[in-house]
A and B are shown apart, each in its own frame.
Chain A
Amino acid sequence: MSQDTRTRPAETGESLDGLDDGASVAASDVTDRIWRFFISMRTGLWLILALGLLSLVGTLLVQAPAGMTADPQAYAAWVASVKPKYGGWTPVLNALGFFSIFTSVWFKAITVLLTTSILACSVNRAPRLWKLAFHPRARMGETFFKHAPLRANLLLPTGPEVAVEDAREVLQAHHFRTVTDPDEDGLNLYADRFRWGPFGTVLAHLSFVLILLGFFLSQATGFGSGFKDTNFTAPVGSRVQVGHGTGLSVEAKSFTDAYYPDGSPKDFASDLVLYKNGVQVERQTVRVNHPMTWDGVSFYQSFFGVAAAMQVKDAAGKTLYGQAVPLQFQSNDGKHSLGEFAMTDKKLTVQVVGAASGQVDPNIKAGQVELNIFQAGTDTPIATKVVDQGKPATIAGLTYTFERTRSFTGLIVARDPGAIFVWVGSTLLVLGLFLVFFFPHRRIWLRVRKTSSGSEILLASTMRRDSAFEPKFHQMVTDIQLAGTPSSTTDIQLAGTPSSTTEK
């Protein structure tokens, strides 16, 4: 059967050159033990699987919205809301942190351990990889040539010096680097290709750590100048400060939403003008998938809604407030949308309530909003009144006017200094993986000996995880044979067909 010639022994974890062997550090003290724990392949494997298990939990169980754990009251309400789904398990799952698994102590601990393991393995491996690439062992013992998974034995009429030169030329023609090392027993030749391939392992592992680092920096609030504002609203026609020390402000010139005939959304577009310290620096139409970025700060289209343009005057006619209030929040029953503004001088907070889109409230009709006026820091309104559009109403000594409705656009505004680490790490990770898997280090050892009728060449190679190399190896053997033989009648003795060298 043809497939048999392609098989090779199931790998036993023992390699011919010790590339993948565990470390050989004596467990003489605790430090050594810890070190050996972290550089063990099995430790890494278990940690990966543990991380996988946590991800599985995070996939199958509903996760609390990000940041909700910071607000105990909201979190408790959220846990109560999932109780019908998980029943008596709810408190158990909650206590184990399974509802916010990716910020849980389990997740953090495993990530830290895995990172440590990756770093330890890389430190442990790098010197050996370096040696294999730049100071390879050019000379192998007799047993290696007898037992290597790929090997061949050639008899040539030429002398050893000529034969080794012929072999070298053939190997170089196959893009192999060659190193000679003569000794008293004969001539030794080492050839290899893709010697930088194995460094892909180190690259891939370290870039994974880089991604984790970037992710950590993205999550850590207050790192550098990073911030993320998911609730940024800009009523059309008003200029809104971005804050966070950016000196930026945004004005939405317009907002448009478009729909397909079946009612599904087609396009959301905000025409935004960006000002830095009052000077216009950028203008762009921001859409979903088309954010605006300036000086590391990005503006993403996120949501939209209706804002109520409000004006508040005191008895002397002085304007206390004159902006559009985005009705960006939903009441718990979903029937109302509401917004809020504060007049700090008067220590007042005003809640503006309108009927949610598509909802009818007999008390708040179209063209009306309800105003709830609170003393700052209190929960019960000092006054509540439904006002008509364009009609000033006097409440508690101040004149409130609901001038008109306007669109507002809701943006995510963010500066993420961790992201760059993630992108660089991701690129290097992919590069590293391609290096490891598609450029395996290929090595051949030759020993040339003098015989009565010319010379004998022993060739041998390891073939770890690289079955594609086998036909190439045989091709090179044939080429060396042809190069050293004037006539083409000589038999080639291939000692090493893999099926006959299956070890263990």
Chain B
Amino acid sequence: MLKLSQYSLIAGLMLVVLALVCYIAVLMLGRSVRRAPVMEHAGVGARVGAGTSTGVGTAVGGTAEEVAAAGPRSLALYGTYFTRLSLAFLTACLVFRSIETGHGPFGNQYEFAVAFGWGIIAAYIYFEYRYHVRTIGLLVLPITAGLLVYAMTVGDTANPLVPALQQNLLLSIHVALAIIAYGAFAVSFAAGVLYLIQPAEGRRGLPKPALLDEIGYRAVIFGFPLLTMVVVLGAVWAQIAWGTYWSWDPKETASLLTWLVYGAYLHARVARGWVGRRASWLLMAGFACVLLTFFGNLFFGGLHSYAK
């Protein structure tokens, strides 16, 4: 079982990388398609002058564009299939491991890193399906790949659970909700980045800012109630394990910080002067807090320091 789990992880990681390669290729090809007419005209002479690609190259560039466009489109489709397949493999990885260990993916940093990657891919697939925006994958897939590689480096020894972690149902729900929320936040982060690198009126080849704003918001309103439940269930667990629902443990505090930043974002979306760019900056800050919460126990110890 453990072997199967490991192979699934490797397959999942390879598929994520493949999907990323597809998307990058689409982006590059898309660029060269747009540039192609200009270059051809540059060869023809000064007839076009300062005129750029649009409309001018219809006669010459038209066919080239069609040929090249078929390539990217099918490549993009492959990218989509690869991401879906990678989700299947990551699911298999987590399922096999859970069967072997007898508990959810909360035993150590390895399990949670794989689950985090799973959450991001799942959220990405949903948003790609819903909004047809693959560009987000360019940011989301490297994060996933990074997490999976990280998982491989921390080692996958399945340690027995210390007494405080022997609370299977509650902790499984706690972690399951956390990874879905974190996945949604990763998508909102990607949408925020794409929003911020564009001028207000948008840039060719990138999704429209208004759409990105929408995706970022959708992802947060999906993730925020879940994060709230994660914090509450964490408090419930703290109450029964340590006799106090809140003890300002660094991981608790970091999750509160994350909750506050996304809470601020939700208010920023309706506050004058904050709509748009500032709100998108809060998405950056929010995901930074997610990562701080996730990696935090590596350096600040505390009650969550099960990674040791």
Question: Could you list which residues of chain A lie within 8 angstroms of chain B, going by C-beta atoms?
Answer: 2-4, 6-13, 20, 22, 41-42, 44-45, 48-49, 51-52, 55-56, 58-60, 63, 66, 102, 215, 218, 228, 230, 260, 262, 264-268, 287-291, 298, 300-302, 412, 414, 416, 419, 422-423, 426-427, 429-430, 433-434, 437, 465, 467, 502
B269 CB contact (under 8 Å) in A11, A44, A287: A11
- Which A residue sits closest to B285, measured CB to CB? A52
- Which B residue sits closest to A298, measured CB to CB? B243
| CB atoms of A41 and B271 under 8 A apart | yes
Q: Does B10 contact A (CB under 8 A)?
A: no
| CB atoms of A3 and B268 under 8 A apart | no
Majority SS at the chain B contact face: helix
**Contact A465 to B217, CB < 8 A, known contacts A3-B132, A48-B267:** yes
Q: Which residues of B contact A429 (CB under 8 A)?
A: 228, 232
| CB atoms of B244 and A228 under 8 A apart | yes
Stretch at the interface among B76-84, B116-124, B251-259: B251-259
27 A-B pairs, CB-CB below 8 angstroms?
Answer: A6-B211, A7-B211, A7-B214, A8-B210, A12-B275, A13-B271, A13-B275, A42-B272, A45-B271, A45-B274, A51-B260, A55-B253, A55-B260, A58-B250, A63-B248, A218-B244, A264-B160, A266-B160, A287-B163, A289-B164, A290-B240, A302-B243, A423-B236, A426-B232, A430-B228, A433-B224, A437-B224
Interface centre among B248, B292, B296 (most CB of A within 10 A): B248
Shortest distance in angstroms between A246's beta carbon and chain B's nearest beta carbon? 16
Interface size on B, residues (CB 8 A): 60
The distance in angstroms between the C-alpha atoms of A66 and B247, with both chains bound, is 8
Shortest distance in angstroms between B235's beta carbon and chain A's nearest beta carbon? 7
A267 CB contact (under 8 Å) in B163, B167, B207, B267: B163
- Which A residue sits closest to B254, measured CB to CB? A59
The distance in angstroms between the C-alpha atoms of A266 and B161, with both chains bound, is 7
Query: A45-B267, A266-B160, A300-B241 given. 14 additional CB < 8 A pairs?
Result: A2-B132, A41-B270, A44-B267, A45-B264, A55-B257, A60-B300, A267-B163, A288-B163, A288-B241, A301-B163, A302-B243, A429-B228, A430-B228, A465-B269
Q: Which residues of A contact B239 (CB under 8 A)?
A: 419
B163 CB contact (under 8 Å) in A41, A63, A266, A434: A266
**Contact A52 to B260, CB < 8 A, known contacts A289-B166, A433-B224:** yes
The distance in angstroms between the C-alpha atoms of A457 and B228, with both chains bound, is 44
Q: Which residues of B contact A301 (CB under 8 A)?
A: 163
Interface string of B84-123 (1 = CB under 8 A from A): 0000000000000000000000000000000000000000
Q: Which residues of B contact A41 (CB under 8 A)?
A: 267, 270-272
The distance in angstroms between the C-alpha atoms of A44 and B266, with both chains bound, is 11
Q: Which residues of A contact B139 (CB under 8 A)?
A: none
Q: Does B75 contact A (CB under 8 A)?
A: no
Q: Which residues of B contact A60 (CB under 8 A)?
A: 300
The distance in angstroms between the C-alpha atoms of A419 and B235, with both chains bound, is 10
The distance in angstroms between the C-alpha atoms of A228 and B243, with both chains bound, is 9
Interface centre among B221, B229, B264, B296 (most CB of A within 10 A): B264
| CB atoms of A10 and B213 under 8 A apart | yes
Q: Which residues of A contact B273 (CB under 8 A)?
A: 13, 42
| CB atoms of A265 and B228 under 8 A apart | no
Q: Which residues of B contact A265 (CB under 8 A)?
A: 162-163
Shortest distance in angstroms between A497's beta carbon and chain B's nearest beta carbon? 14
Shortest distance in angstroms between B157's beta carbon and chain A's nearest beta carbon? 10
Q: Which residues of B contact A7 (CB under 8 A)?
A: 208, 210-211, 214
**Contact A6 to B214, CB < 8 A, known contacts A13-B270, A52-B264:** yes
Q: Which residues of A contact B224 (CB under 8 A)?
A: 433, 437
| CB atoms of A59 and B296 under 8 A apart | yes
Q: Which residues of B contact A430 (CB under 8 A)?
A: 225, 228-229, 232
- Which B residue sits closest to A464, measured CB to CB? B270
Shortest distance in angstroms between B87's beta carbon and chain A's nearest beta carbon? 22
The distance in angstroms between the C-alpha atoms of A2 and B229, with both chains bound, is 35
Q: Which residues of A contact B243 (CB under 8 A)?
A: 228, 230, 291, 298, 300, 302, 412, 414
| CB atoms of A419 and B274 under 8 A apart | no
Q: Which residues of A contact B163 (CB under 8 A)?
A: 265-268, 287-289, 301
| CB atoms of A3 and B250 under 8 A apart | no
B221 CB contact (under 8 Å) in A12, A300, A437: A437
Q: Name B214-249 residues within 8 Å CB distance of A.
A: 214, 217-218, 221-222, 224-225, 228-229, 232, 235-236, 239-248
Q: Which residues of A contact B214 (CB under 8 A)?
A: 6-8, 467
| CB atoms of B242 and A102 under 8 A apart | no
Q: Does B69 contact A (CB under 8 A)?
A: no
Q: Which residues of A contact B221 (CB under 8 A)?
A: 437, 465
Q: Name B179-219 residues within 8 Å CB distance of A.
A: 207-211, 213-214, 217-218
In order of increasing CB-CB distance, the 5 nearest A-B pairs are A288-B163, A300-B243, A412-B243, A52-B260, A55-B257
| CB atoms of A59 and B211 under 8 A apart | no
**Contact A422 to B245, CB < 8 A, known contacts A51-B260, A260-B160, A262-B160:** yes
| CB atoms of A419 and B208 under 8 A apart | no
- Which A residue sits closest to B217, measured CB to CB? A465
Q: Does B12 contact A (CB under 8 A)?
A: no
- Which A residue sits closest to B296, measured CB to CB? A59
| CB atoms of A45 and B159 under 8 A apart | no
Shortest distance in angstroms between B218's beta carbon and chain A's nearest beta carbon? 8
Q: Does B61 contact A (CB under 8 A)?
A: no
Shortest distance in angstroms between A433's beta carbon and chain B's nearest beta carbon? 4
Q: Does B261 contact A (CB under 8 A)?
A: yes
